Amino acid sequence: MMKRAALFLGAILFVFAANGFDASQAQTVMPGVSTGSAEAPTVNPEDLSQEDIRDMVSRMSDSDVRNMLLERLDAVAQKEEAADESASIVEFLNAAANGTWISVYEAAVRLPILFSSQATSFNNFYNTLGGAGILQLFGSILVGLLAGFVAEKLVNWITRNWHTQVISDNATLFESLKFLGFRLLKQIYGLIAFFIVARIVTVNLMTPEMVAFSQVIVFNMVVLPRLALALGRFLLAPEKPEFRLLATDNWTAKYLYWHQFGIVLLMGFSVAIVTFNDMNGVPMGTSRLGFWLNLSIHLYLIYVSWRAWDGLVALARGRDDVTPFEDRMSRWYPGYMIAISVCTWLLVNIIISFGMFDLIATQPHYKMMFLLTFVPTFDTAIRALVRHLVPPMQGEGMVAERAYISTKRSYIRIGRIFVFAFVIVTIAGFWGIDLSNLAAAGVGVQVAGRLIEILMVIAAGYLVWELVSLYINRKLAAEHTALGFDLTDDEPGGGEGGGAGGSRLSTVLPLVLGIAKFAIAAIFGLIALGNIGIDITPLLAGAGIIGLAVGFGAQKLVADIVSGMFFLIDDAFRTGEYVEVEGTMGTVEKISIRSMQLRHHRGLVHTIPFGEIPKLTNFSRDWVIMKLMFTVPFDTDPNKVKKIFKKIGNDMIAEDAWKDDFLQPFKSQGVFGFDDVGMIMRGKFMAKPGKQFMARKEIYNRVKAAFDEAGIDFARREVRVAIPGLDDAKDITPAQATAIEAVATDAAAQEQEKLDQAAKEGSKK
């Protein structure tokens, strides 16, 4: 027991002496000591002497000392790992930069021995097979190729009726895919037959040593380039522009078709010659032939991108449905290809500088380069597919058009998410990376693994975001289109306010969409934080505490939210309806979780919290009755006016332009009253909310025209001057007539002034 305690004591003293104490551990709770209090006693390790430490350890159990020692050693190890990680990153960057320079320098230095090394490889090849063996090898390859071509022609003859020749200047997407797809299948089946027959023939005509050489030559320099031609023919259709899937001109299509064949052929030759040299005693790093071949491939790709710049821009832009951002990005597609080529070249040289030749033995860098090069064309293909596959626009008007465009953009963004995931998984497969077990590897790989996991979580969250937005927006657009409702009209509600508004569902859906987006962002954000090693439990607990504090401290906010919830449950208002709140009137333009915005018919916007709404008056629910007043002279026949009103109402409700706006036709309500100038005739009609104002304007026009036709005048204010004895006067001189006219005019002016003053006072009230 004493020996064990002494051992632990020595280890503790060594750790304390070597590393000291952190400020965060200046107060350490000693295990195994009980004082009967609710909390264990704490001591400051810096105040302990060597004797105190021995005395403390003598009172501790073996497990307590072991746990204390392990905790301290783990803390020290973590510090060292963090320091090693930061140091390793710096060292890696320095080594990568130096290694790339050294790789280029070594290739230049070994350039004089390039041809001698290649001569050595050929000499070893000759010594291995001999002259007769070489003749047998190439003769067998030639016979195998001829047999393969015969087999390919036979397969093409058998499958000659697999597709129907469609002669059309404007072939549909389905027709183009059918024609090009069957043609590609025919070529692939022919290549498979070619390769199988050629392999069988060459294997039976060669020795086992020759078979390895023939496979390298045939597969890399014959099969792969021809497969590239088949794929290029499918995508570019150089001789069939009416079926071309990519948006580019004939010159660019033919140029890219043949030069992509040339690039693949050069790549196949590079792989074949490097493998050939390695099989004949000249490894890859001896003459650095691979460096120059790799450089030539990248220079070739840069040259092709530069020459076909305009055609590649058109290819990336596509035919239609291009946003300004996509148009700007498409202009840099050739530059993007050049950048990918340069970065791939640098990556290969960094890998070679570390001596990891096995990592690029299967040519993953070329596969990755071609995949990343064609990623923008994937985006173009997605836009083309959406353009052809999305159903046509439903309904008419701006609402339906905006919904159609929004739906297409959502499908495009969803397609981009799948392309992103496909690219990540495929590139990981090229390099032999297991994404599921990446986090279990070393520290540097853990960082990469967590980064990939975060990207995948973000992509999944964005996919859910887009799917929810797509569903809700489609439902919202369907509701608006069915109702013919659009808040962005130039004159909502007929220009006077009081429109019918949307449905109950169209009012609630924008609020649901906002809450759903917030929930999706919060959930997937927490998942992403959890994947990078952050413990989200304290975040959730802190959010709960903050929410509780906000609940107590922001009672007004809670009241607004709760009041709004009950207003929506009661269906008190909907988006687009014209309402009044304590004298504030306007169209409900926007609803949030705590307030509503009213747009006055003069353009003013009022924001009203739900908690401040004691009473709400809705002018746009179900139906509207409008009453119109007309003043006619006292001698007018009321029955004649009544017949005119009835005829106008029957005519309007029978017309297609007006019949859907009326619930009850315009009709007379008889004499409403009398005033100083005539009789007041009243008429009324019942209309749909928002339609009453245009109907009122039309009724005014028709009443005026009908009154003119019937000889009925509208009553107007008049001033009459009575002069006693004027009727008995027989002889009036001109001077007397002028005096009488002046008096009458002055009296009329005074009376009119009184009327104007009364009108002003009435308007103020």
Mean pLDDT along residues 78-89: 52
- Residue 352, pLDDT > 90, answer no
- Residue 271, pLDDT > 70, answer yes
Mean pLDDT along residues 18-32: 40
- Residue 763, pLDDT > 60, answer no
Least confident piece of the model among 90-99, 553-562, 727-736: 727-736
- Residue 748, pLDDT > 90, answer no
CATH topology of domain 624-710: Alpha-Beta Plaits (3.30.70)
Confidence of residue 31 (pLDDT cuts 50, 70, 90): very low
Structure confidence at residue 691 (pLDDT): 77
Residue 311, token pair as written in the block: 């055609």
Closest CA to 322 of 221, 247, 373: 247
Query: Mind listing the pLDDT tens digit for each residue in 716-733?
Result: 776 565 656 555 555 666
Which has more pLDDT, 47 or 579?
579
Which has more pLDDT, 59 or 151?
151
Residue ranges in 159-223 assigned as alpha helix (H)? 173-205, 208-218
The Cα 355–Cα 432 span in angstroms is: 18
The Cα 55–Cα 53 span in angstroms is: 5
How many CB atoms neighbour CB 355 within 10 A? 10
Closest CA to 344 of 402, 421, 431: 431
Structure confidence at residue 11 (pLDDT): 43
Structure confidence at residue 262 (pLDDT): 92
Confidence of residue 15 (pLDDT cuts 50, 70, 90): very low
pTM confidence score: 0.59
**Residues 6+ away with beta carbon under 8 Å from 453:** 435, 438, 439, 531
**CA R_g for the chain:** 45
How many residues does this entry show for the chain?
A: 765
For the chain, give the mean pLDDT.
75
Which has more pLDDT, 81 or 683?
683
**Residues 6+ away with beta carbon under 8 Å from 579:** 573, 585, 586, 587, 588, 598, 616, 617, 618, 619, 620
Query: Mind listing the pLDDT tens digit for each residue in 366-391?
Result: 888 888 888 888 888 888 788 777 77
Confidence of residue 21 (pLDDT cuts 50, 70, 90): very low
Closest CA to 572 of 596, 599, 540, 547: 596
Distances (CA, A) of 151 to 191, 194, 354: 9, 6, 46
Structure confidence at residue 89 (pLDDT): 60
Helices (H), strands (E): how many in the chain? 22, 10
Contact 693, 494 (CB under 8 A): yes
Structure confidence at residue 255 (pLDDT): 92
Distances (CA, A) of 444 to 97, 315, 441: 18, 39, 8
Structure confidence at residue 528 (pLDDT): 76
Least confident piece of the model among 48-57, 521-530, 582-591, 650-659: 48-57
Structure confidence at residue 409 (pLDDT): 79
Percentage of residues in the chain having pLDDT higher than 90: 8
- Tracing tokens 């009203």 back to the chain, one arrives at 608
Percentage of residues in the chain having pLDDT higher than 70: 70
Query: Mind listing the pLDDT tens digit for each residue in 283-342?
Result: 877 778 888 888 999 999 999 999 999 999 988 888 767 888 888 888 999 999 999 999
Structure confidence at residue 740 (pLDDT): 66
- Residue 36, pLDDT > 50, answer no
Task: Please return the burial class of 391, using the count of CB atoms within 10 Å of its CB with bins 0-12, 13-18 and 19+.
Answer: exposed
Q: Which architecture does CATH list for 546-620? A: Roll (2.30)
The Cα 757–Cα 763 span in angstroms is: 10
Query: Mind listing the pLDDT tens digit for each residue in 461-483?
Result: 888 887 887 777 777 666 666 55
Least confident piece of the model among 300-309, 351-360, 486-495, 544-553: 486-495
- End-to-end distance of the chain based on CA atoms, in angstroms? 104
**Residues 6+ away with beta carbon under 8 Å from 328:** none
Query: Mind listing the pLDDT tens digit for each residue in 637-691?
Result: 888 888 888 888 888 888 888 887 888 888 888 888 888 778 888 888 888 877 7
Q: What are phi and psi of 666, to 5 degrees?
A: -70, 130
Least confident piece of the model among 357-366, 481-490, 735-744: 481-490
Largest CA distance in the chain: 155
Residue 269, token pair as written in the block: 């030759």
- Residue 438, pLDDT > 90, answer no
Residue ranges in 554-594 assigned as alpha helix (H)? 555-569
Residue 531, token pair as written in the block: 């994947």
Which has more pLDDT, 31 or 276?
276
Which has more pLDDT, 345 or 8?
345
Residue 34, token pair as written in the block: 């009980």
The H-or-E segment that residue 371 falls in is helix 364-389
Structure confidence at residue 306 (pLDDT): 93
Mean pLDDT along residues 27-47: 43
Structure confidence at residue 23 (pLDDT): 36
Query: Mind listing the pLDDT tens digit for each residue in 202-235?
Result: 888 888 878 888 888 888 889 889 999 999 899 8
- Residue 448, pLDDT > 60, answer no
- Tracing tokens 């008096």 back to the chain, one arrives at 743
**Residues 6+ away with beta carbon under 8 Å from 400:** 393, 394, 477, 481
Query: Mind listing the pLDDT tens digit for each residue in 122-145?
Result: 888 888 888 888 888 888 889 989
Structure confidence at residue 697 (pLDDT): 87
Structure confidence at residue 38 (pLDDT): 39
Confidence of residue 157 (pLDDT cuts 50, 70, 90): confident
Query: Mind listing the pLDDT tens digit for each residue in 704-720?
Result: 888 888 888 887 776 56
The Cα 43–Cα 41 span in angstroms is: 7
